Amino acid sequence: MKVLVAVKRVVDYNVKIRVKADQTGVDLSNVKMSMNPFDEIAVEEALRMKEAGTADEVIAVSIGVQQCQETIRTALAMGADRGILVKTDAVLEPLHVAKILKAVVDEEQPGLVILGKQAIDDDCNQTGQMLAALLGWPQGTFASEIEFADGKANVTREVDGGLQTLKLNLPMIVTTDLRLNEPRYASLPNIMKAKKKPIDEKTPEALGVDMAPHLTTLNVAEPPKRQAGVIVENVAELVHKLRNEAGVI
């Protein structure tokens, strides 16, 4: 089985981001970028499938500017076999990404597409679901465990009430939650070898995907600054403040 993993280049999770002065977005100049952490979990899961013999090829796909190649290299260093970069400077919305991934799936015919449940930059949590709808494939979102048996997959999902296990037919879409696995560290020899693995370059145009925007960003603002706390003398004063000033009880 071929496994396709979608990997997104996002601001590194350690970076304290700043909103641009004109409030049109986040300032990305000189900011460290890395692979979306949920996508790292997706890569790790695909690699474990390959090591277990369930998968025989792992392909990492990234969509966006030329530097997304570095994100693909990270996946290759972890152990993915080859990469596909769909190069575009356009502003990407989840529907664009889902349509591009569908076009790649049509070409590659994988048995499984595995994606992070969301990216830590826009927190959309839409791409996997949209891709499943476009392909007409079953989907197991927020996965915390994946098991294969008799040509089907049991996907355990983290839902509000606890854990839900679905039996899904292949091919299928899985989106990963945090507890699915702990991604490995790419070893130094593998980072060096990743440079020699192939990355195919494509464009949305060549894949026949229309990149016209469907969304307009009106305004991006920082959360309000946290106010200093106050020390209350007793319970009565606390209740009074909660009722009359905070209005929460």
Partner 1 sequence: MNEDDIVPLLDGVRRLVNEKLIPAEARIDREHRIPDDLLGLMREMGLFAYAIPAEHGGLGLSKWAEVRLIFEFCRAAPAYRSYVGTTNGVGGKSIVLDGTDAQKRRYLPSIAAGDLIVSFCLTEPGSGSDAKSLSTTARRDGAGYVLNGSKRFISNAPIAGLFTVMARTNPEDKSAAGVSAFLVEAGTPGLRVDPPLEKMGQLGAPTADVTFDDCRVPGEALLGGTEGLGFITAMKVLDDARIHMGAVCVGLSSRLLEEMTAHAMERRQFGKPIAEFQLIQGMIADSEAEYLAARAMVEQTARQMDAGENVTKAAAACKYFASETVWRIADRAVQVHGGYGYMRETAVERLFRDARLLRIFEGTSQIMQLVIAREAMKEYKATR
- Residues lying near partner 1 in the complex (CB under 8 A) are found at 34, 70, 73-74, 77, 184-189, 191-192, 194-195
Instruction: In whole angstroms, give the CA distance from residue 211 to residue 227.
Output: 42
In the bound state with partner 1, the residue whose beta carbon lies nearer, of 67 and 164, is 67
In the bound state with partner 1, the residue whose beta carbon lies nearer, of 185 and 234, is 185
Min dist. Cβ of residue 153 to partner 1 (A):
29
Phi, psi of 141 (to 5 degrees): -95, 160
In the bound state with partner 1, the residue whose beta carbon lies nearer, of 152 and 184, is 184
What's the one-letter identity of residue 6?
A: A
Q: Which residues pair with 172 in a beta bridge?
A: 112
Min dist. Cβ of residue 60 to partner 1 (A):
15
Min dist. Cβ of residue 11 to partner 1 (A):
15
Min dist. Cβ of residue 61 to partner 1 (A):
19
Specify whether the CB–CB gap between 157 and 143 falls below 8 A: yes
**Left, alpha or beta for 74 (phi > 0: left; psi -120 to 50: alpha)?**
alpha
Specify whether the CB–CB gap between 137 and 109 falls below 8 A: no
Min dist. Cβ of residue 74 to partner 1 (A):
7
3-state SS class at 161? coil
Structure token pair of residue 128: 């996997």
Hunting for tokens 């790292």 — which residue is that? 40
Min dist. Cβ of residue 186 to partner 1 (A):
5
Closest CA to 16 of 6, 4, 31: 31
In the bound state with partner 1, the residue whose beta carbon lies nearer, of 77 and 103, is 77
| Other CB atoms within 10 Å distance of the CB of residue 76 | 26
Instruction: In whole angstroms, give the CA distance from residue 172 to residue 241.
Output: 53
In the bound state with partner 1, the residue whose beta carbon lies nearer, of 16 and 214, is 16
Min dist. Cβ of residue 69 to partner 1 (A):
11
Instruction: In whole angstroms, give the CA distance from residue 12 to residue 239.
Output: 42
